[in-house]
A = this chain, B = another copy of it.
Amino acid sequence: MSTYHPLTEVQAIAYSRQIPNLFQEGSDLASQEIGDGNLNLVFRISETATGKSIILKQALPYAKVVGESWPLTLDRARIESEALLIEEALNPDLVPHVYAYDADLALTVMEDLSDHVIMRKGLIEGNQYPLFAEHIGRFLATTLFFTSDLGKNQQDKKIQQGRFINPELCKITEDLIFDDPYRDAETNNIEAQIRDAAEQLWTDHALHLEVAILRQKFLTSAQALLHGDLHTGSIFIKADSTKVIDPEFAYYGPMGFDIGAVLANLILNFAAQEGWSKDDESRAAYRSYLLQTVKDVWTHFEANFRSLWNEHGVDRVFQTAGYQDYFLTNLLQDTVGFTGAKMVRRIVGLAHVADIDKIEDAAARERAQRLALDLGKALIRINRQVTSIDELIAIVTKETAVERGFAL
């Protein structure tokens, strides 16, 4: 083992050679650094003769966002690697396989998913993924259930929780999602054309109370091992396969935060159709697909989760009459709240989404921004009263109908 240093492409090849049972001895290996360089180095190492390839992901000791650079713990590589292994044990088909982890180099060696595309890109291109809802619903159900007190021995869960204390990455979420968007923070990234809407956010006290309550859940509700950053940029996809990547934000938190991340990014793309759809008809069709996916994600999650609960609840208390329904209603409410919070921050906060920012037509982009913001606010406002996923769908449909003439 060596002390930490960022690898060069040549060093990445040398490192790959020594991993047992991967490449043939002395074979020709090519290396390409394909990361965006903001947080990690990502090397794709491929064997010319066989086409076989792997990914080396190495954490950098800093984060670069919009030109700023701040120090960031290398321990996140351990957290990512351990979370991937836990997820893989539960759903081998839904995460990249981890070949090796090197603590000194903050390096994870994993399966290459170059035959997949990042889901955000796929959605922007207007693709449909009929298996996605089942895949992600199952991923969410198994990872959240089996890492929680429901499906894991409660003492083992506490010890595992201790391995996923992740203060620095949680801090990013606490600031960028639950704080900055609701005040005139320097880190905010607000297009001039919607500044009025951002300013309204800063004085909406009823909304602030709901966000404070959601933040409290993020800070204190240690329900399950979360992915922690489960947007469509953390999902690799193709027609018959879904792979969840990048769980470096993993920590024990409220289950609804992960589910909400998925739903928020689907609804952000829904709003972004102001800019991407060619005509009203195709816009309505793609939006219907997205809303159906939102509903299906929850439905698949819930069906899987209830089934796991019935079959694998670790003790008799979980069979208490009414408890499962109580739990799932609360979880849906959390999900709706976190969905809204994750939409708002993508419009006025530091980090945006390509679905909306890459719309070239300024007027269409503004319509998408305002719609996403209004949908997010509506979901935050209603979160503690929702009792079915249909209510979420109805809110999105109605708000969009009022604002943009959308009809299902």
Contacts and interface: CB of A to CB of B under 8 A. Distances in A.
B149 A208 contact: no
A212 interface: yes
A171 B315 CA distance: 13
A317 B216 CA distance: 10
Interface in A123-180: 149, 154-156, 158-159, 161-162, 165-168, 170-171, 174, 178-179
Given A158-B170, A315-B179, A321 B220 contact: no
Interface in A301-343: 315-318, 320-323, 326-327
A295 interface: no
Contacts of A326: 209, 213
Q: How many copies does the complex hold?
A: 2
A194 interface: no
Given A154-B174, A165-B162, A326-B209, A149 B317 contact: no
A315 B316 CA distance: 41
A323 B209 contact: yes
A161 B165 contact: yes
A238 interface: no
Contact of A209 (B209, B219, B320): B320
A223 interface: yes
Interface in A178-236: 178-179, 183, 205, 208-209, 211-213, 215-216, 219-223
A212 B315 contact: no
B321 A208 contact: yes
Given A209-B322, A315-B179, A321-B209, A168 B155 contact: yes
Contacts of A162: 162, 165
A216 B321 CA distance: 15
B171 A155 contact: yes
24 contacts: A154-B219, A155-B170, A158-B165, A158-B166, A158-B167, A158-B170, A162-B162, A162-B165, A179-B315, A179-B316, A205-B322, A208-B317, A208-B320, A208-B321, A209-B322, A209-B323, A211-B317, A212-B317, A212-B318, A212-B323, A213-B323, A216-B327, A220-B222, A222-B222
Given A158-B167, A220-B221, 10 more contacts: A154-B171, A154-B174, A155-B167, A155-B170, A179-B315, A183-B316, A205-B320, A209-B321, A209-B326, A220-B223
